[in-house]
Amino acid sequence: MSDTSRPTPPVVGPVVSSAHLAESALPALSELEFALTMANHAYQRWMVRCMTAAGGPAMSPLEVLVLHLVYHRGRAKTLAEVCLILNVEDTHVANYAIRKLTRAGLAETGRKGKEKTIQITDAGAALCARYRQVREALLVRTARQLGHDPADISRIAALLRALSGSYDQAARAAAAL
């Protein structure tokens, strides 16, 4: 029996969430945007669930990011640094996350001149260490099994950082219209 009796699968274009936006001079950008949406939601779910598995209190994705950033390099950060590094436009949102982390005993505030700073507590550092252990066991091990070249992952990360600048510039231009 020949394989000619099997139907030919339909030709499928790029996977996008908004075909009307893909009809542009750069359809691949719509494909990337859909992938970013899916990755962003998956990443946020992961952070929250990993933090819970590590024994942390209920946290938003931003609170998890701020906690890890405050632990980063073992030095206090200012609110302006937190917002700049995490690309958070609304300082009050970051400030709220800082207040929640402080109330939970995971971070503490201080002063650097006139600026308020935030730094990790021993409890916060211990929680970050447990998060790292859960991440290593559940995420890193599985991601390594996919066999992707770490250099390719780094190149994708660099591309995404560069594209974020394009989106920021376009947002500024759109605000000026």
60-100: per-residue pLDDT in tens?
999 999 999 999 999 999 999 999 999 999 999 999 999 99
What b/e readout covers 4-28, taking b as 16+ CB neighbours within 10 angstroms? Answer: eeeeeeeeeeeebeeeeebeeeeee
Tokens of 37: 């949406």
The percentage of residues in the chain with a pLDDT greater than 90, rounded to a whole number, is 81
In the structure, what pLDDT confidence band is assigned to residue 161 with cuts at 50, 70 and 90? Answer: very high
Report whether 106 contacts 120 (CB < 8 A).
yes
Residue 4 above 70 pLDDT? no
The mean of the pLDDT values for the chain is: 93
Whole-model pTM: value is 0.87
Structural domains in the chain plus CATH codes: 41-171 (1.10.10.10)
CA 122 to chain centre: 24
Instruction: Kindly state the percentage of the chain with pLDDT values over 70.
Output: 97
